Structure 1
Amino acid sequence: MKIFKLNKTNNGVKRSWFLVVASLVSGMATYAAMTPSGDANKFLILILLNLDLVLLISLIIIITKRVVNIWSRKKSGQLGAQLHSRVVVMFSLLAAAPAIVVAIFGAIFFTVGIENWFSAQVKNALNKSLSVSEAYFEQGQRQINIDAVDIAGIMNTSGILNNMNNLDIQKENNLKKLLNQLAYERNFTEVIIFDKNGNIVAESELSFLFKSNKRQALFDLVIETKRPAIEFSSSELDKTISAMSPVNFLGNHFIYISKFKDLRVISDINSVKTAVKNYRGVENKKEGLHITFTMVFIVVAVLLMFVAILMGLNFANGLVTPITNLANAAERVSMGDLKVRVPDNNNKDEIADLSKTFNKMTEQLDSQRNDLINTNNELERRIKFTETVLTGVTAGVLGLDKYGKIFLPNRRALDLLDLKKSINNSYLIDVVPEMSEIFTEITNSNQKIITKEIELIRNGKKIIIITTITAEKNKNEVLGYVVTFDDMTEFFKIQRVAAWSDVARRIAHEIKNPLTPIQLAAERIKRKYKNHISLEPEIFLSCISTIIRQVDGMRKMVNEFSAFARMPVPVFSKINLTNLVKEITSLSILSNENIKVDIKVPKTTLYAVIDENQIRQALQNIISNGINSMIERKNNASLENMLTVELKKNKNIFNIIVTDSGIGLPDNIRDDLTDPYVTSRKNGTGLGLAIVKKIMEDHSGTLELKNVEGNSGVCASLKFISKEELDKG
């Protein structure tokens, strides 16, 4: 049983609904992740967008396949396609409209959110925060610079650095004490005095704990600019601010100081700077960001729209499918497909009841048709049995209806009539016009069986068939006819040959005995009286010679009669066939010098187990006929007298082909030339070719005669099998 369904399956519906749910969840998650109030996680958004694109492509593929399927069904004019397309369009529009509205409002809310991000209030607040942090930082730099200059002034005023080359221990201790006091009073981490070569002259007690590369950098900067310099460090290991200033205008000594800054304040200052930098970077990309987010929202909106369209398609299919299934199933039934069934959707509605009724109806129709098919198959089996029986019959059989139309020919009938195509439903008188007379006779009479001998011409060959027509009758009503016929051509030929053989034997017996005395008497009269005849002796001699010549001719004819009537049993021996063909051909043309001969034999000598005398007689007869034919064509001197004798061997079959350029075979007796006493020559006996045919039959061979193209001679073919090959076979 075949259940007819629309072009979808339950698995396909489940997949489409799963895709709808997944697309809805992914789309709403993307909206939530990208709204201004949300925490925009770039990695999460990227994953969701990739998922949206995959789902969108899947939706487009499914919807496109559905739409193309509906369009193709509509274009091909399938039942239900018009209704299906209208319902799909309606549901798709109804489902897509809310998705489009949501997408529009989502885009509006997103645009408002972007504008709020880059409003003047936010920009002013960030700029003021940056100004405050920069002012605080500059204040710290100014203060430490003032401290460095102030300490340099103190050192310069006190003169403590004068004569540093002769610095004694007391002065050194006093200098360190002063540096420690300044570091303590002003909360410095380091207070160091360098000479002009960058060597440390004196330093506070804790300076060794804060060795840093920035000392050398500040020293190089002060030496280069001749002005105080400041360095701020915010690394994890060094969060200090440092300053260096010349002690006097000579630049012989330099004071270096450093102090800690508040880590929390420094962190806040860095955060403000980073925030302002990021804000300005985003502000510069505002338009691109707007476009990017808009495109993302469009993708999500299109995704939701296609989700809505797919939902509309699913709802439309669910509504239209049962009706379409019924319509298409009904169409399939009208086309003869009674195996079709509509699916049972287990719904409790009128369409479900109609589907069940339809299935019950088609099941009954299918059962009834199966019964008819079984009956028909039984009839076909009987017909095939009859045909098989007829195939084994050697006769041709034709079954006719009462109007003479053929409905049952067997293979033998087609072969006998030389028909290549079917003749069923053809009329007998059209297929075999020669049978029209016998068919007309039985149709116009009350006879049940009529038999006649009919002569047919097929491919230029005459065949004789015995035809019998039997009428099948039920009371007086004709139901049909059976025509049987068989080829009796060979049978009649055998009868004629047998009859002629008997006649030849009788003629030879009756004529042969008096021929010798007649010839001897004529020769004796000639010898005894030729010198005694004085009155017209020439006539006397001519008459006697004629008697002798005619007797000799009659003796030859009697010999041929005897040879034909009583052909000797062939005596087989292994013969050099190549030399035999050359010898016979050469001897046959000795007295005909004006005839050219072409002998073609294989390079390898051919041997055959044959009766040499009979094959010699057959070949001599064929060559003699060719020579006589060319002599009779003497009035046509434009053609060259040419005799070709060719010897071939194909597998185990020998073939001697003799071709002449004589007058050719007459069309009216071509098929009968191998029959006894049929000849085209005036003085021919009509037994030569009959003897050749008999010799070939004794050698399991055939004699084939045909005109050369253009009727410029005859091609005779002697085909036979060597006796040793026959024994092997």
Structure 2
Amino acid sequence: MFSSLMNIFKLNKSNNGVKRSWFLVVASLISGMATYAAMTPSGDANKFLILVLLNLDLVLLISLIIIITKRVVNIWSRKKSGQLGAQLHSRVVVMFSLLAAAPAIVVAIFGAIFFTVGIENWFSAQVKNALNKSLSVSEAYFEQGQRQISLDAVDIAGIMNTSGILNNINNLDIQKENNLKKFLNKLAYERNFTEVIIFDKFGNVVAESELSFLFKSERRRALFDLVMETKRPAIDFSSSELDKTISAISPVNFLGNHFIYISKFKDLRVISDINSVKAAVKNYRGVENKKEGLHITFTMVFIVVAVLLMFVAILMGLNFANGLVTPITNLANAAERVSMGDLKVRVPDNNNKDEIADLSKTFNKMTEQLDSQRNDLINTNNELERRIKFTETVLTGVTAGVLGLDKFGKIFLPNRRALDLLDLDKNIHNSYLTDVVPEMSDMFLELKKNNQKIITKEIELIRNKKKIIIITTITAEKNKNKVLGYVVTFDDMTEFFKMQRVAAWSDVARRIAHEIKNPLTPIQLAAERIKRKYKKHITLEPEIFLSCISTIIRQVDGMRKMVNEFSAFARMPVPVFNKVNLTNLVNDIASLSVLSNENIKVNIKVPKRTLYAVVDENQIRQAMQNIISNGINSMIERKNSNKVKNMLTVELKKVKNNFNILVSDTGIGLPENIKDDLTDPYVTSRKNGTGLGLAIVKKIMEDHNGTLEVKNIEGGIGVCANLRFTSKEKINKG
């Protein structure tokens, strides 16, 4: 943890702002300590140095305030703009700034208090009394030393007078001179004197101790002159530490003919202490006179240094917060960009060896792996999409419907044909087969229940009110008895089955026509011959006879018509295409068809411009006659209800390259149970219908590349039949 904290304070070489801030921190600390050191010496400090340091402190303080203000404004603007990490940054900055500044503020407050209390204590009465007493003691000691050396001189003079050593001093022989010197040497030794000298009134040396020659004689002469002037003892007691001795001179007797001079070494340590006490008292009194100004000066200096240190602490807190928050903010920004899909983002590496740096490296490694994996997934997905598109392309060209299912039975790959056959929307992905096509539910569940590989069944569907028949095959894709998915294939077999039925009925019709047509003519001829031959001979109930013969002939005609329809259905002739005026053709057929039905009105709608088409005129005529005939019969079967008018509408239209002949009636309509099978052979809603009319019309439309559409009129009464066909480009000749 300590390593992490230390790394946070490392100088970021790429960040000039951080360089400047740390330079100011170091410079401020050095300047503050130098200012404090310059203010602490006793006596007169170097005022010029203090002034320079104070100016430097102010410059550094202003620089710190500018940098801190810029950073605070930057953090505030980022927070106001809602940038990521600004909230955390501001909280951390406030917290660390307070933590860093609080000690400096507390120290400044207590320092100011202690300084004030200390100043008051320095100049308290107790301190003054102590200093004054110390000065008095030192002065008393000095005076005592002066008195003592003077008393010693007087005392020695008395000793000399009482001892008689000075008798006949003016006429000293060698013996007396030696004795006098011994006496002086003894006094010097016993009393620790450096010099003991006897002068006469003229200042001449009469006798002296043996070490007196080592010392200067200027002081002796000065004292001798002084004693000769005052006729009293004189002393030389200087407080200077340069003078190592003290001396005194005194008359030996009241006559003043001879004088005794003594000297001894000073106690330099005591003299030094006395001088120190005097200097301290002098300085104290000088400072006391400047107390108020000094108090103000020191307080201002202390405030400047304290504020400087406080802003240094705040700047260090800002740097600490930046060092702590910046990597976290970088991580947050990078994480947000990753959430937006940018896996190329990387967190800057600060080359530190702490937990945050490890987290950044781990994040970069993670994004690098995610980016690599995403690229692999994209490549794989592109390959899968390419394969899916290829599969869809292949399936698009398949005429059968195909559904791809996962192992849960959800659809993930339908082809276009499947959507068209089942009338489904494109958005069926992830839908269950059993929900989308419930008709296949039993088949699918049977496959799963019996654990079969494949199952095929015929299924009948109702789509858009139309019945279709599909052959469905469901295949299970397995790997080691584990189902991976299913493939459902199906095809519309409705038309195929119809064609099979048509082919079967054509064969039946051909056989019936062949078997029935042959005896019909003989039967009819025989009936007519019997009628002619026996008409006059039968007298008993001749009406019954004629009625029976007429019935036979009429039924034979009906059977012949039916056989002709069978033949026409079984062997439709090859159409012969010619250019036909469709406008006239529609007018003629519609007008002639209702001549025999006065109760039916016809409404013919044809374009003003004459329409021509290359068609088989006879087949188109036959198709229209069959449709119109069905409409007329339907209106007749409605029994001419007075509530609904019998109206037959025939309309000719051309839409792009298609011709449409629409025939509408107001008849009974189509039964719901057979309306989808009306074009099948032998399917009819009329009692006497053969069920071949619409089948023939459908065959004619197919030969003309067209379709037949028959449906009940929505919201109305009756049926609308639409003959839609195209015009052939070439005309058949021959």
Contact persistence 2:576–2:732 (CA under 8 A): no
Contact persistence 2:252–2:258 (CA under 8 A): yes
| Inter-partner Cα distance in structure 1 for 2:625 and 2:73 | 85
**Is 2:643 aligned against 1:638?**
yes
Q: In the TM superposition, what whole-angstrom CA distance separates every residue of 1:620-679 from its partner, at most 9, and x where no partner exists?
A: 111111111110111632101111111111222211111111111111111111111111
The structure-2 alpha-carbon separation of the partners of 1:23 and 1:463, relative to structure 1 and needing over 3 Å to count, comes to farther
Greater shift in the superposed pair: 719-728 or 595-604: 719-728
Q: Which residue of 2 aligns with 1:298?
A: 303
The structure-2 alpha-carbon separation of the partners of 1:449 and 1:267, relative to structure 1 and needing over 3 Å to count, comes to closer
The structure-2 alpha-carbon separation of the partners of 1:349 and 1:282, relative to structure 1 and needing over 3 Å to count, comes to closer
Contact persistence 1:191–1:203 (CA under 8 A): yes
1:386 CA drift (Å): 3.5
Greater shift in the superposed pair: 471-480 or 177-186: 177-186
1:155 CA drift (Å): 118
Counterpart secondary structure, 1:102:
helix
The structure-2 alpha-carbon separation of the partners of 1:678 and 1:88, relative to structure 1 and needing over 3 Å to count, comes to same
| Inter-partner Cα distance in structure 2 for 1:165 and 1:632 | 200
1:581 CA drift (Å): 0.9
Counterpart secondary structure, 2:602:
strand
| Inter-partner Cα distance in structure 2 for 1:234 and 1:94 | 58
Greater shift in the superposed pair: 98-107 or 215-224: 215-224
Counterpart secondary structure, 1:393:
coil
RMSD value, Cα = 24.2
The structure-2 alpha-carbon separation of the partners of 1:134 and 1:348, relative to structure 1 and needing over 3 Å to count, comes to closer
1:349 CA drift (Å): 7.5
Contact persistence 1:78–1:328 (CA under 8 A): no
Count of residues paired in the alignment: 729
The structure-2 alpha-carbon separation of the partners of 1:599 and 1:370, relative to structure 1 and needing over 3 Å to count, comes to closer
Greater shift in the superposed pair: 326-335 or 141-150: 141-150
| Inter-partner Cα distance in structure 2 for 1:211 and 1:261 | 16
Greater shift in the superposed pair: 111-120 or 413-422: 111-120
1:116 CA drift (Å): 40
1:533 CA drift (Å): 1.8
1:472 CA drift (Å): 3.1
Contact persistence 1:652–1:725 (CA under 8 A): no
Q: In the TM superposition, what whole-angstrom CA distance separates every residue of 1:578-599 from its partner, at most 9, and x where no partner exists?
A: 1111111111010111111111
| Inter-partner Cα distance in structure 2 for 1:585 and 1:186 | 178
| Inter-partner Cα distance in structure 2 for 1:201 and 1:619 | 187
Q: In the TM superposition, what whole-angstrom CA distance separates every residue of 1:515-555 from its partner, at most 9, and x where no partner exists?
A: 11111111111122222222222211111111111110111
Counterpart secondary structure, 2:731:
helix
Counterpart secondary structure, 2:497:
helix
Q: In the TM superposition, what whole-angstrom CA distance separates every residue of 1:456-512 from its partner, at most 9, and x where no partner exists?
A: 111111111111222334454444432221111111111111111111111111111
1:413 CA drift (Å): 1.8
Q: In the TM superposition, what whole-angstrom CA distance separates every residue of 1:19-65 from its partner, at most 9, and x where no partner exists?
A: 99999999999999999999999999999999999999999999999
Counterpart secondary structure, 2:102:
helix
| Inter-partner Cα distance in structure 1 for 2:260 and 2:651 | 137
The structure-2 alpha-carbon separation of the partners of 1:623 and 1:314, relative to structure 1 and needing over 3 Å to count, comes to farther
The structure-2 alpha-carbon separation of the partners of 1:682 and 1:58, relative to structure 1 and needing over 3 Å to count, comes to farther
Contact persistence 1:642–1:661 (CA under 8 A): yes
The structure-2 alpha-carbon separation of the partners of 1:463 and 1:35, relative to structure 1 and needing over 3 Å to count, comes to farther
Contact persistence 1:33–1:39 (CA under 8 A): no
The structure-2 alpha-carbon separation of the partners of 1:316 and 1:437, relative to structure 1 and needing over 3 Å to count, comes to closer
Greater shift in the superposed pair: 185-194 or 631-640: 185-194
1:340 CA drift (Å): 2.3
The structure-2 alpha-carbon separation of the partners of 1:245 and 1:316, relative to structure 1 and needing over 3 Å to count, comes to same
| Inter-partner Cα distance in structure 2 for 1:195 and 1:633 | 190
Q: In the TM superposition, what whole-angstrom CA distance separates every residue of 1:364-401 from its partner, at most 9, and x where no partner exists?
A: 44334544554454445444443433333221222334
Contact persistence 1:2–1:340 (CA under 8 A): no
Q: In the TM superposition, what whole-angstrom CA distance separates every residue of 1:164-221 from its partner, at most 9, and x where no partner exists?
A: 9999999999999999999999999999999999999999999999999999999999
Q: Which residue of 2 aligns with 1:426?
A: 431
| Inter-partner Cα distance in structure 2 for 1:160 and 1:139 | 30
| Inter-partner Cα distance in structure 2 for 1:727 and 1:143 | 172
The structure-2 alpha-carbon separation of the partners of 1:561 and 1:212, relative to structure 1 and needing over 3 Å to count, comes to farther
The structure-2 alpha-carbon separation of the partners of 1:353 and 1:719, relative to structure 1 and needing over 3 Å to count, comes to closer
| Inter-partner Cα distance in structure 2 for 1:435 and 1:337 | 46
Contact persistence 1:36–1:114 (CA under 8 A): no
| Inter-partner Cα distance in structure 2 for 1:691 and 1:254 | 183
The structure-2 alpha-carbon separation of the partners of 1:348 and 1:636, relative to structure 1 and needing over 3 Å to count, comes to same
The structure-2 alpha-carbon separation of the partners of 1:180 and 1:490, relative to structure 1 and needing over 3 Å to count, comes to farther
| Inter-partner Cα distance in structure 2 for 1:255 and 1:216 | 13
Greater shift in the superposed pair: 39-48 or 631-640: 39-48
| Inter-partner Cα distance in structure 1 for 2:338 and 2:539 | 116
1:71 CA drift (Å): 7.5
| Inter-partner Cα distance in structure 2 for 1:65 and 1:366 | 38
| Inter-partner Cα distance in structure 1 for 2:163 and 2:463 | 154
The structure-2 alpha-carbon separation of the partners of 1:69 and 1:492, relative to structure 1 and needing over 3 Å to count, comes to farther
Contact persistence 1:4–1:341 (CA under 8 A): no
Greater shift in the superposed pair: 604-613 or 43-52: 43-52
Contact persistence 1:243–1:258 (CA under 8 A): yes
Q: TM-score, normalised by structure 1?
A: 0.59
| Inter-partner Cα distance in structure 1 for 2:646 and 2:210 | 149
Greater shift in the superposed pair: 105-114 or 133-142: 133-142
| Inter-partner Cα distance in structure 1 for 2:677 and 2:210 | 152
Counterpart secondary structure, 1:667:
coil
Q: Which residue of 1 aligns with 2:62?
A: 57
The 5-angstrom pairing of residues 207-218 of structure 1 reads none
The structure-2 alpha-carbon separation of the partners of 1:606 and 1:380, relative to structure 1 and needing over 3 Å to count, comes to closer
| Inter-partner Cα distance in structure 1 for 2:633 and 2:219 | 140
Contact persistence 2:469–2:492 (CA under 8 A): yes
| Stretches of structure 2 lacking an aligned partner (at least 5 in a row) | 1-5
Q: TM-score, normalised by structure 2?
A: 0.58
The structure-2 alpha-carbon separation of the partners of 1:37 and 1:329, relative to structure 1 and needing over 3 Å to count, comes to farther
Q: In the TM superposition, what whole-angstrom CA distance separates every residue of 1:562-586 from its partner, at most 9, and x where no partner exists?
A: 1111111111222221111111111
Greater shift in the superposed pair: 281-290 or 450-459: 281-290
The structure-2 alpha-carbon separation of the partners of 1:379 and 1:259, relative to structure 1 and needing over 3 Å to count, comes to same
| Inter-partner Cα distance in structure 2 for 1:214 and 1:101 | 63
The structure-2 alpha-carbon separation of the partners of 1:677 and 1:253, relative to structure 1 and needing over 3 Å to count, comes to farther
The structure-2 alpha-carbon separation of the partners of 1:505 and 1:349, relative to structure 1 and needing over 3 Å to count, comes to closer
The structure-2 alpha-carbon separation of the partners of 1:707 and 1:32, relative to structure 1 and needing over 3 Å to count, comes to farther
Q: In the TM superposition, what whole-angstrom CA distance separates every residue of 1:696-722 from its partner, at most 9, and x where no partner exists?
A: 111111111111123501111111112
Greater shift in the superposed pair: 45-54 or 695-704: 45-54
The structure-2 alpha-carbon separation of the partners of 1:184 and 1:376, relative to structure 1 and needing over 3 Å to count, comes to closer
The structure-2 alpha-carbon separation of the partners of 1:96 and 1:443, relative to structure 1 and needing over 3 Å to count, comes to closer
1:422 CA drift (Å): 2.9
Q: Which residue of 2 aligns with 1:627?
A: 632
Greater shift in the superposed pair: 40-49 or 147-156: 147-156
The structure-2 alpha-carbon separation of the partners of 1:593 and 1:26, relative to structure 1 and needing over 3 Å to count, comes to farther
Contact persistence 1:472–1:480 (CA under 8 A): yes
Greater shift in the superposed pair: 230-239 or 463-472: 230-239
| Inter-partner Cα distance in structure 2 for 1:251 and 1:574 | 188
| Inter-partner Cα distance in structure 2 for 1:201 and 1:603 | 181
1:338 CA drift (Å): 3.7
| Inter-partner Cα distance in structure 1 for 2:573 and 2:88 | 95
The structure-2 alpha-carbon separation of the partners of 1:652 and 1:272, relative to structure 1 and needing over 3 Å to count, comes to farther
1:425 CA drift (Å): 2.8
| Inter-partner Cα distance in structure 1 for 2:247 and 2:651 | 129
Counterpart secondary structure, 2:236:
strand
Contact persistence 1:398–1:484 (CA under 8 A): yes
| Inter-partner Cα distance in structure 2 for 1:442 and 1:81 | 62
The structure-2 alpha-carbon separation of the partners of 1:509 and 1:187, relative to structure 1 and needing over 3 Å to count, comes to farther
The structure-2 alpha-carbon separation of the partners of 1:344 and 1:166, relative to structure 1 and needing over 3 Å to count, comes to closer
Q: What fraction of aligned residue pairs are identical, expressed as a percent?
A: 91
1:229 CA drift (Å): 95
